[in-house]
Copies of this chain bind each other. A is one copy, B any other.
Amino acid sequence: MLEVSHISKSFGSKNVLQDVSLTFEENKIYGLLGRNGAGKSTLLNIITNRIFPDTGEVKIDSENVNDNDAKLGLMFLMSEVNLYPNGSTLNQIIADTELIYGSFDYAFAKKLAQKFELDLTSKFGKLSTGYNSIFKLILALSVPVKFVLLDEPVLGLDANHREMFYSELIQSYTDHPRTFIISTHLIEEVANLISDVIVLDEGRTMLDQPVEEVLAKTHSVVGPETDVTAYTKGLNVIGHDNIGTIRVDYVYGDLDDRQLPDTVKISNFDLQKLFIFLTNQFEGSRHYEN
């Protein structure tokens, strides 16, 4: 179990993370969502000891990870920042990675490189944005760690490569269950992949729940304007659309047993839409759960 307790971090006068506490359980796939600047990358860097928090701590199985090589070796962070020398071949970087992590699934890495048509004798510095991501994903899926942290894993990938990555991730997870933490702006594409969703907003935890429970609380209420607004009165309406005389109210939370008029229809809406409404500064007050 990976525990993040009361982490705060400022850069200059900007409070990037404010008292964030989270628990990542074994063999779950977490989606870490947030606006640009919400603190996602900072959190992933703090978890893996690349930068240090002002206050708070990170523990694996109750042991602080700080300067703790045994615990740090259980985590791998794939991030946008390039840590590898441009002049090294991909094979050399794989060999160096094995030195750090003790073993490496060469067979799997080769199979993935073939599927993605990546030549492992290429130099790292020569890779396009898309292939840079692909190579780092191959590393992340081939190291023997318990916690795989992916920061914007599909940046620059075309639709085919994204789909291939998601399906390889599921296969790899099925073969060797472990914990994934995936930070991404392509929310709908991971909605069926993740078991739990965490939303950071301006450095604070806004949501931390199983996806199924979150989606069960989304209700789009569609019908004639007066009927819809009468029905949703007092409910937690987080956004709305108007299409001519038809109104859609987006509700987040449990519906009580109020009477539904025949003219009004209710269905669920998707995770990306929920995220946008919850984190949109123009939709009025924010709706924190924690």
Contact = CB atoms under 8 A, between A and B. Distances in A.
Contacts of A115: 282
A36 interface: yes
A185 B163 contact: no
A269 interface: no
A168 to B, nearest CB: 13
A276 B128 CA distance: 20
Contacts of A158: 34-36, 185
B128 A159 contact: no
Interface string A14-43: 000000000000000000001111000000
Contacts of A185: 157-159, 162
Interface in A139-190: 156-163, 185-188
A247 to B, nearest CB: 17
A159 B187 contact: yes
Contacts of A156: 36
A66 interface: no
A272 interface: yes
A279 interface: yes
A280 B157 CA distance: 14
A130 interface: yes
Interface residues of A, number: 25
B160 A279 contact: yes
B187 A280 contact: no
A231 interface: no
A113 to B, nearest CB: 14
A76 to B, nearest CB: 24
A276 B163 CA distance: 8
A134 to B, nearest CB: 10
A52 interface: no
A206 to B, nearest CB: 13
A269 to B, nearest CB: 13
Indicate the member of A157, A158, A272 with the most B CB atoms within 10 Å: A158
Contact of A160 (B128, B163, B280): B280
A160 B130 CA distance: 23
Contacts of A279: 160
Contacts of A280: 160
Given A159-B276, A275-B159, A276-B159, A130 B36 contact: yes
15 contacts: A34-B158, A35-B160, A36-B128, A36-B157, A36-B158, A36-B161, A37-B128, A115-B282, A159-B185, A159-B276, A160-B275, A160-B276, A162-B185, A186-B186, A188-B188
Given A35-B160, A159-B185, 7 more contacts: A34-B158, A35-B158, A36-B161, A160-B279, A162-B185, A163-B276, A186-B186
